[in-house]
A and B are shown apart, each in its own frame.
Chain A
Amino acid sequence: GDSVTQMEGPVTLSEEAFLTINCTYTATGYPSLFWYVQYPGEGLQLLLKATKADDKGSNKGFEATYRKETTSFHLEKGSVQVSDSAVYFCALSKKNTGNQFYFGTGTSLTVIP
C-alpha cells in the first residue's frame, strides 16, 4: 500500500546550520507530496507541496523537490532559526483515494542558539 518513510529524529542543529530531513514514499500512480509542520501545542500547518515530478515546493526558506526516479521529497533549508524548532511531517495524497493523506512518523527538530 501507499506509505511514507521519514528520517528518524530527533534532530538538533545550531542556528544558521543547514537542514535536510529525508522523506521517501511508496505509491502507485501520481501522488501529491506535502510537508506539514507542527509547532508545540498547535495543529499541523502546510509548509509546502508539490503535485508532480520535478516540481519544487518552497516556503519560508524551506524547499523540497519531487523526485520520481528516487521516490523522494527531501526537505531542506539553508540556514535554520530557533523559530524553526517543530515537528515536520512528510505526507502523500492521491485523488483516486479521496485525497486521503498518508503521513510519515514525523521528525522533531530543535534549533539551539
Chain B
Amino acid sequence: EAGVAQSPRYKIIEKRQSVAFWCNPISGHATLYWYQQILGQGPKLLIQFQNNGVVDDSQLPKDRFSAERLKGVDSTLKIQPAKLEDSAVYLCASRRNDLSTDTQYFGPGTRLTVL
C-alpha cells in the first residue's frame, strides 16, 4: 500500500510571500492531520480533518494559515503571507476512520525555509 505523499519536499521563500503544500493520504484513510515541526521540537498539530470536514483547527494561526480538503481525499495547506517563524517542516499524517486503530501514518514532510 502506498504511503502518505507530500509535495514539494523543500521550499524556500521570502517573508511575506505565499506558499502551498499538498498532501495525499493513504487510500481509504478518512482522517487527515497537518503538523508543524519546528527544528528541535516535536510536531504540533495545526488542523485535523475527518473526510472533508474540520474536526479541530484550534491551533491553526488563521490570520495567515488556511487548509482545505475539498473532496475528502487530498489536502492543501497554505500560508499567506509567510513570516520568518514559519520556517519548519510541515508534516501530513492520515489514519483510518476505525475505532480499532489510533495509529497515524506520516508523510516525508515539506521543509519550508522563510528568508
Q: A residues near B, CB below 8 A? A: 4, 6, 32, 34, 36, 41-46, 49, 51, 89, 91, 93, 95, 97-101, 103-106
| Given A89-B42, A103-B42, A104-B42, A44 and B102 contact (CB-CB distance below 8 Å) | no
- Tell which of B41, B44, B45, B107 touches A43, judged by Cβ atoms closer than 8 Å: B107
Q: B103 to A105, Cβ gap below 8 A? A: no
Q: B42 to A105, Cβ gap below 8 A? A: yes
Q: B55 to A98, Cβ gap below 8 A? A: yes
| Given A100-B48, A100-B56, A106 and B102 contact (CB-CB distance below 8 Å) | no
Task: List 23 interface pairs A-B (beta carbons < 8 Å), by A numbering.
Answer: A4-B42, A34-B103, A41-B108, A43-B106, A43-B107, A43-B108, A44-B91, A45-B106, A89-B42, A95-B99, A95-B102, A98-B50, A99-B31, A99-B102, A99-B104, A100-B48, A101-B35, A101-B43, A101-B93, A101-B104, A103-B42, A105-B41, A106-B42
